[in-house]
């Protein structure tokens, strides 16, 4: 959709049409909402000033990219957003060339822009990377690593700081705003260059220092001093919903031919009054009624997250040395309730997974029992810290991994399928998983009493209710739930146990079921005993196959020199898993219970 050359009035009308389309579709299908509504005018400004066909358009996280998708030949297809086989909820280059890079995790955008700018310089091309990043993403260290190099290289990059929650620093009213634009304008930049040249050529050395101090004193009354000190020019804050001001400012920033941050103040949920200013409640939503904002509720069991939150809260009341942390996901992980009751023992450290892990390692060394509560997909971001700061010293830190397995509509950047694989090979790490709500409660009590690092995984949504009585965990011990008359054995791990039970019920044979419970250390004795009775083993786990549960079992059998077992794994193959409702994704993968029965 062409925006260049349109009048301010036409662009304002287009902004309204885009918001109406987003509200209509998301209210019926669900998706990211308040952030993407707040970024509509900024996105229009990007498309007006820059060339989407050549300039890299880089959206941090890219949960705010819906307007960009609508402007790039996806208006009708937007109906399929986050549905299986439809548009991805994040930027995705193989979906449309206007999407420069795959995104989904936070704080990568400026590093991408630096890499793109280096490439453009080497190829001697006339292109400018433009970034949109939210103020929340500015809490991650990777952003400052990138800014540090960018400020040194001085390559042309325009960074739009979409500030929709809090100001980086409080501006001093209209004077700050006016001076910021003046400092970035052509007149000031030209004047500054001439003054600098005159001072260098004609004045004593000491007056150069005075001139620099004069310039610094002017900049100090703007809120951009942090970026200026990093060598990045700063403009703002500007009104992120004033299209005319956005276009004017972006044109100035582009013309400067060096790194510039444009600080834009926006309102989350802009254009849908009920959602405006609601920071977390309307961030990502399911279907809702547009007229009153009421969510269309489904009758569901209590989620694993809720069980975890309640259980940990009770444990924290019982044991005063329990502490905990989450990384920008307090309500998503249930830690908000613990932060509220124990604000000096539980923290949200923002998007800083590496810091979260290392800081908790120190607390473990000081005698506390840390619970790091984090989505499986985001634990990847602290991989080095798990090895270097926790496991080498065998510190008793608990990693509680929410959203393990297929998470559905967020897709390949968010699927929690790799945690078993990348944690299993780390020395001193204990890995175990509950199969239902009751065993989740037992797992947390067990984790508290464990004197080594450990990781627990549990799924998004609810566990299935199972008929088998829950029992406490015992280190490295599996549990045989059911013996069988056939020569088949179903082995489940975590949520895979319920899948094994479902498949067994659909099968016409009497099949034994084992809850493996521990993948590390694995129960060698029970595997040895079961190998004497059952020759065909089938493994169920919502995780990656390579290096996963079946691999651990095969390694154990090889070590025990047991050669009579045929193992079939229903874990995930060596591919990234697309977005869509979990049942649709599992059907595509051939992992619905009825499909597995036919396979067996």
State residue 167's pLDDT score: 44
Is residue 204 over pLDDT 80? no
Rounded to an integer, the average pLDDT of 47-60 is 97
552-567: pLDDT as tens digits: 999 999 999 999 999 9
338-382: pLDDT as tens digits: 999 999 999 999 899 999 999 999 999 999 999 999 999 999 999
Which percentage of the chain shows pLDDT scores above 90?
Answer: 80
Give 191 or 572, the one with higher predicted confidence: 572
Q: Residue 349 in contact with residue 302, Cβ under 8 Å?
A: no
- Is residue 192 among the annotated active site residues? no
The architecture in CATH of the region 8-171+223-285 reads 3-Layer(aba) Sandwich (3.40)
State residue 27's pLDDT score: 94
User: At 205, is the pLDDT very low, low, confident or very high (cuts 50, 70, 90)?
Assistant: low
In the chain, where does the domain assigned CATH 3.40.50.970 lie?
8-171+223-285, 304-459
User: At 199, is the pLDDT very low, low, confident or very high (cuts 50, 70, 90)?
Assistant: low
In the chain, where does the domain assigned CATH 3.40.50.920 lie?
479-599
Is residue 221 over pLDDT 90? no
Mean pLDDT check: name the lowest of 159-163, 200-204, 237-241: 200-204
Q: Please, what sign has the CA dihedral across residues 526, 399, 417, 440?
A: positive
User: At 441, is the pLDDT very low, low, confident or very high (cuts 50, 70, 90)?
Assistant: very high
State residue 181's pLDDT score: 63
State residue 55's pLDDT score: 97
Both structure tokens of 430: 């204990």
**Which residue is catalytic, options 19, 69, 82, 268?**
268
Question: Cβ–Cβ contacts within 10 Å for residue 19, how many?
Answer: 21
315-346: pLDDT as tens digits: 999 999 999 999 999 999 999 999 999 999 99
Rounded to an integer, the average pLDDT of 496-509 is 95
Query: CA separation (Å) from 296 to 52, 73, 195, 212, 292?
Result: 37, 30, 63, 59, 11
Rounded to an integer, the average pLDDT of 91-110 is 95
Rounded to an integer, the average pLDDT of 160-177 is 63
**Which residue is catalytic, options 74, 381, 460, 517?**
381
Rounded to an integer, the average pLDDT of 32-53 is 95
User: At 195, is the pLDDT very low, low, confident or very high (cuts 50, 70, 90)?
Assistant: low
Kindly report the average pLDDT of the chain as a whole number: 91
3-state secondary structure 15-45: HHHHHHHHHHHHHHHCEECHHHHHCHHHHHH
State residue 160's pLDDT score: 97
The architecture in CATH of the region 479-599 reads 3-Layer(aba) Sandwich (3.40)
Which residue from 559, 549, 545 is spatially nearest to 515, judged by alpha carbons? 549
User: At 298, is the pLDDT very low, low, confident or very high (cuts 50, 70, 90)?
Assistant: confident
Query: CA separation (Å) from 442 to 99, 473, 488?
Result: 45, 6, 29
Mean pLDDT check: name the lowest of 174-183, 462-471, 495-504, 576-585: 174-183
388-418: pLDDT as tens digits: 999 999 999 999 999 999 998 999 999 999 9
Which residue from 375, 380, 376, 331 is spatially nearest to 354, judged by alpha carbons? 380
- Is residue 353 among the annotated active site residues? yes
Rounded to an integer, the average pLDDT of 475-503 is 97
**Which residue is catalytic, options 353, 479, 571, 586?**
353
Is residue 231 over pLDDT 70? yes
State residue 172's pLDDT score: 47
User: How far is residue 161's CA from residue 365's CA, in Å, rounded to a whole number?
Assistant: 38
Question: Strand 260-265 to strand 566-569: parallel, antiparallel, or no bridges (unpaired)?
Answer: unpaired
CATH placement of domain 304-459? 3.40.50.970
- Is residue 268 among the annotated active site residues? yes
Q: Residue 66 in contact with residue 31, Cβ under 8 Å?
A: yes
Which percentage of the chain shows pLDDT scores above 70?
Answer: 90
């Amino acid at each position: 959709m062409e925006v260049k050359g349109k009048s301010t009035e036409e662009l304002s009308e287009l902004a309204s049409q885009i918001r109406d389309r987003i509200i209509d579709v998301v209210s019926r299908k669900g998706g990211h909402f308040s952030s993407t509504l707040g970024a509509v005018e900024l996105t229009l400004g990007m498309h007006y000033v820059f060339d989407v066909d050549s300039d890299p358009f880089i959206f941090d996280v890219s949960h705010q990219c819906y307007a960009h998708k609508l402007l790039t030949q996806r208006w009708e297809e937007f109906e399929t957003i986050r549905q299986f086989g439809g548009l991805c909820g994040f930027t995705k280059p193989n979906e449309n060339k206007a999407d420069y890079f795959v995104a989904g995790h936070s704080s990568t955008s400026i590093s991408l822009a630096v890499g793109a700018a280096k490439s453009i310089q080497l190829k001697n091309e006339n292109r400018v990377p433009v970034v949109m990043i939210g103020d929340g993403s500015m809490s991650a260290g990777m952003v400052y690593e990138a800014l540090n190099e960018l400020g040194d290289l001085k390559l042309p990059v325009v960074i739009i700081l979409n500030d929709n929650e809090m100001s980086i620093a409080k501006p001093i009213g209209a004077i700050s705003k006016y001076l910021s634009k003046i400092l970035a304008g052509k007149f000031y930049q030209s004047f500054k260059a001439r003054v600098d040249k005159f001072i260098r050529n004609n004045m004593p050395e000491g007056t150069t220092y005075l001139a620099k101090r004069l310039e610094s004193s002017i900049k100090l009354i703007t809120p951009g001093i942090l970026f200026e000190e990093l060598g990045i020019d700063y403009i703002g804050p500007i009104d992120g919903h004033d299209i005319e001001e956005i276009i004017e400012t972006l044109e100035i920033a582009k013309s400067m031919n060096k790194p510039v941050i444009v600080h834009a103040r926006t309102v989350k949920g802009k254009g849908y009054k009920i959602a405006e200013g609601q920071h977390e409640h309307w961030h990502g939503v399911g279907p809702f009624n547009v007229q009153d904002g009421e969510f269309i509720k489904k009758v569901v069991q209590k989620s694993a997250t809720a069980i975890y939150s309640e259980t940990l809260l009770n444990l924290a009341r019982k044991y005063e040395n329990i502490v905990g942390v989450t990384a920008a996901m307090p309500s998503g992980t249930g830690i908000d309730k613990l932060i509220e009751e124990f604000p000096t023992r539980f923290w949200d450290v923002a998007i800083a997974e590496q810091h979260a892990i290392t800081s908790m390692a120190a607390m473990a060394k000081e005698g506390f029992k840390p619970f790091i509560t984090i989505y499986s997909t985001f634990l990847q971001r602290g991989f080095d810290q798990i090895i270097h700061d926790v496991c080498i010293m065998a510190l008793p830190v608990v990693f509680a991994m929410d959203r393990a397995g297929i998470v559905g509509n967020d897709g390949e950047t968010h699927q929690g399928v790799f945690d078993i694989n990348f944690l299993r090979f780390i020395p001193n790490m204990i890995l175990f998983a509950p199969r239902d709500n009751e065993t989740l409660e037992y797992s947390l009590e067990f984790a508290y009493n464990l004197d080594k690092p450990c990781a627990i995984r549990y799924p998004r949504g609810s566990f299935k209710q199972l008929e088998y009585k829950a029992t406490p965990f015992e280190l490295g011990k599996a549990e045989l739930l059911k013996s069988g008359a056939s020569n088949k054995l179903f082995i489940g791990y975590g949520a895979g146990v319920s899948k094994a039970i479902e498949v067994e019920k659909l099968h016409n044979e009497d099949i034994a079921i084992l809850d493996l419970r521990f993948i590390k250390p694995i129960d060698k004795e029970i595997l040895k005993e079961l190998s004497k009775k059952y020759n065909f083993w089938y493994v169920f786990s919502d995780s990656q196959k390579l290096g996963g549960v079946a691999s651990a079992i095969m390694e154990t059998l090889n070590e025990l020199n047991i050669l009579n077992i045929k193992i079939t794994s229903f874990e995930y193959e060596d591919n990234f898993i697309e977005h869509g409702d979990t049942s649709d994704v599992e059907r595509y993968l051939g992992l619905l219970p009825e499909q597995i029965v036919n396979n067996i």
